[in-house]
Chain A
């Protein structure tokens, strides 16, 4: 079992560009959540997907959007990148009704 896999591991983008980050959940998991972790801070909840729909959303602007595919994998899209979007983006998968969420290793996004 590969666990939660995220791609790419590192990414550098220019301010104003758009970025797509990808997440494959742990085998058998049907729920995917995304978190943003700025340097020195705890992860902040962005949103959660279940059954291909956004179920919960944190306090993030509409520039942050996502998608979940029928195989439960997920994408996080960020438009009009700002310098402040530089962070580690974490994906967590879980089984609805299960005990805990498993996190991937994250994608380090740098906006210049």
Chain B
């Protein structure tokens, strides 16, 4: 199972873009990059996922480097409600076995 590395914590000013990096240098060709977040010990919430191309949805954008060894989750206009632990996960296409790391604790500051 590919492993991910994320910074332990980050701060972001409210209204600014939050850029959360993730390293997944051992990712395989059939493995997707997923991002989930967990707010105050609730269940993790799906944000976005991608394989090779950059992706965007109503919550965030995902930028994956051309060699697929790293990615960045972008929250375009962070709000206080975005304060959470963000997990970057690599998942093989045939399984829902997510390998979580310790994630990045994002604090959005007023």
Contacts and interface: CB of A to CB of B under 8 A. Distances in A.
Contact of B96 (A43, A88, A92): A92
A74 interface: no
A103 interface: yes
A41 B43 CA distance: 13
Give the interface size class of chain A.
20 to 34
B43 A101 contact: no
Interface in A78-105: 88, 90, 92, 94, 99-105
Interface string B67-110: 00000000000000000000100000001111111110000000
Interface residues of B, number: 19
Which of B98, B99, B103 lies at the interface centre, i.e. has the most chain A CB atoms within 10 A of its CB?
A: B98
Contacts of A31: 96
Nearest to A100: B46
A43 B44 contact: yes
A58 B97 contact: yes
Contact of B44 (A41, A44, A90, A94): A90
A66 interface: no
Interface in B33-60: 34, 36, 41-46, 49
Interface of B: 34, 36, 41-46, 49, 87, 95-103
4 closest A-B pairs by CB? A42-B100, A103-B43, A100-B46, A103-B44
